[in-house]
Structure 1
Amino acid sequence: MIELINVTKSFRAGTNVKYTARGINMVFPTGAVVGLLGRNGAGKSTMMNMIGGSTKPDSGQIRITGTVSWPVGFAGSFHRDMTGAQNVRFIARIYGVDTEDLLDFVADFAELGHHLNEPVRHYSSGMRSRLAFGVSIGIPFDTYLVDEVTSVGDANFRRKSRMVFQNRMERAGAVMVSHSMTQVRQMCSAGAVLEGGYLTYYEDIEEAIDAHHRNMGTGEED
């Protein structure tokens, strides 16, 4: 369970202050797969980072029961001079999982071949994303934070990513950001809509999508 208690977050934009969270009180239930919806710039990534712990709210608390991942697929924390395999082993030790089991999973999933034993600085952005997704989803968390990650790679890799993600969701929950309403419908059972610094939870994903469309002033979108 993820509980937001009077959470406020703002940024200065020139002479103005922009709020991405205004005293939010909400619970993401244990085991739920929640689509986090909102217009560009609404603060979805900031919300994910606050839940993940990399960004602190200005005020309020975020209480977490169980384990929560970093944003799945985030590749910014790899050590560029270490190989992909060395990075995987390092992360496995930090999170207390078997190093070789995680490495075997990532090698099979990310399909990097011999590049897994090369320094990450030589990777393309796509290769880093595939490595990051493999490491993220290879560790058993209670709740995964997912930010557009299943859009990485070609059609076959995206299909495999969705299958692995859905398999994980049989035993875990997630908070997921995606601009594809088709993808949100396929993967999410509930929704939360962020608009003007306020977050509204909907137990029915279709109600969340409808509210998002009303905020956008648009009809159905893919």
Structure 2
Amino acid sequence: MIRCELKNVTVDFPIHTVTSRSIKNTFISTISNGKLTNNQKFPVVKGINNISLNLKPGDRLGISGPNGSGKTTLLRTIAGIYTPTKGIINIQGRISSLLDVSFGLDPEATGLENIRMRGVLMGLKLNEIIAIEHEIAEFTELGEFINLPVRSYSSGMNMRLGFAVSTAIPSDILLLDEWLSVGDANFSKKAEIRLNNMMKKSEIVIIASHDQKFIKKTCNQFLNLSY
């Protein structure tokens, strides 16, 4: 059964190179909104603290809270990017993470080669990604640029490529950090339709956003993080 379960999950970011009275320590304490703490060995920044969730098919969780409260850290922990310092995570199902869609693109590879590499990294077999690469390439509207190295792309073109690949593969659990804005008005409209369809098809959706109206309209469960 598809599920996303967290039990008392904490993520600490250790600060190995500072002392309790250093300038750097004071700076980190300031930017982390006072979440700098000390354990027996070294100071740590609390990314998230003692979070528990139990999500099942049909659940749409909206995560809100001020900057620095841990929204993105929580999403990255669910995605497997961060390992919990404490607690247990039980994920059943394929995760699609739209946290930074252009992250990990190889600048020396072509757009088409990046489609194949990203697809394999997302769990598809090579023949499976080849079967849908034409549709992905068409969606990007990159034209002949799809056969050029990504280092020749603008930031907007990178976003289009990453978004097209990330949303072409069905997911059981969809993670979103704010609502994506990709490209010009025409492309953004097309991307919004694609993303809405992906949300409808995903069993579980987890969205971090500052937009309370959007969260209330979209979600049936809510988590408000604070410092």
Whether TM-score is above 0.5 comes out as yes
Number of aligned pairs? 196
Rg larger for: 2
Contact 2:177 2:208 in 1 (8 A): yes
Q: 1:31: how far off? A: 3.1
Q: Which amino acid is 2:105 matched to? A: F
Cα-to-partner distance string for 1:152-193 (whole Å, 9 max, x where unaligned): 222222222221122122221221123334443454343222
Q: 1:149: how far off? A: 4.8
Is the deviation greater in 141-150 or in 93-102? 93-102
Please give the alpha-carbon distance, in whole angstroms, between the structure 2 residues aligned to 1:186 and 1:123.
36
Question: Taking structure 1 as reference, are residues 72 and 107 closer, same or farther at Cα in structure 2, changes over 3 Å only?
Answer: farther
Please give the alpha-carbon distance, in whole angstroms, between the structure 1 residues aligned to 2:131 and 2:217.
29
Corresponding position of 1:194: 225
Q: Which amino acid is 1:51 matched to? A: I
Q: Which amino acid is 1:80 matched to? A: P
Q: 1:70: how far off? A: 2.9
Q: Structure 1 residue 14 and structure 2 residue 25: aligned?
A: yes
Of the three residues 153, 167, 177, the one matched with 1:137 is 167
Q: Which amino acid is 1:82 matched to? A: A
Of the three residues 41, 46, 56, the one matched with 2:68 is 41
Contact 1:72 1:133 in 2 (8 A): no
Contact 1:2 1:63 in 2 (8 A): yes
Q: Which amino acid is 1:91 matched to? A: R
Please give the alpha-carbon distance, in whole angstroms, between the structure 1 residues aligned to 2:213 and 2:141.
26
Corresponding position of 2:107: 80
Of the three residues 134, 158, 165, the one matched with 2:188 is 158
Percent of aligned positions that are identical = 34
Please give the alpha-carbon distance, in whole angstroms, between the structure 2 residues aligned to 1:111 and 1:156.
11
Q: Structure 1 residue 70 and structure 2 residue 97: aligned?
A: yes
Q: Structure 1 residue 29 and structure 2 residue 51: aligned?
A: no
Corresponding position of 1:214: none
Question: Taking structure 1 as reference, are residues 72 and 139 closer, same or farther at Cα in structure 2, changes over 3 Å only?
Answer: farther
Q: Which amino acid is 2:224 matched to? A: V
* Pairs within 5 Å for 1:89-100: 89-94=116-121, 95-97=123-125, 98-100=128-130
Is the deviation greater in 84-93 or in 137-146? 84-93
Q: 1:85: how far off? A: 0.6
Q: Structure 1 residue 177 and structure 2 residue 205: aligned?
A: no
Corresponding position of 1:3: 5
Gaps of 5+ in 2: 16-23, 27-35, 38-44
Corresponding position of 2:86: 59
With the length of structure 2 as denominator, give the TM-score of the two structures. 0.77
Question: Taking structure 1 as reference, are residues 4 and 82 closer, same or farther at Cα in structure 2, changes over 3 Å only?
Answer: same
Gaps of 5+ in 1: 197-222
With the length of structure 1 as denominator, give the TM-score of the two structures. 0.79
Contact 2:65 2:225 in 1 (8 A): yes
Please give the alpha-carbon distance, in whole angstroms, between the structure 2 residues aligned to 1:156 and 1:187.
23
